[in-house]
Amino acid sequence: MKQQKKEKAVEVKIGVQHAPRELVIESDLERETLEKQIADAVASGGVLSLSDSKGRRTLVPADKIAYVEIGGGVAGTVGFRS
């Protein structure tokens, strides 16, 4: 029997210019893949498109990104989550 490794979601926080709150996305992609997608979008001046672990897609104009924080896995969240 093959042992399955459970993947942890990676938390991505995106600060958007002139927006009071940051976007928080939990992605199933690897950190390196996320970093490359973000860097490519910013370099091209296009649109950053990320899907979260529930299949929802978030689009952010790359020229409006103030900062991006790529964190570790999301562990033990408590409270109401959608």
* Structure confidence by residue, pLDDT tens digits, 21-67: 999 999 999 999 999 999 999 999 999 999 998 999 999 999 999 99
> What is the rounded CA–CA span in Å between residue 59 and residue 79?
26
Per the listing, tokens 């897609």 go with 57
Task: Of 42, 40, 24, give the one whose Cα is nearest residue 32.
Answer: 40
Cβ 42 vs Cβ 50: under 8 Å: no
What gap in Å lies between CA 35 and CA 32, rounded to an integer?
A: 5
Tokens in use for 44?
Answer: 């091209």
- Domains of the chain, start order: 10-73 (2.30.30)
Q: How confident is the model at residue 8 (pLDDT cuts 50, 70, 90)?
A: confident
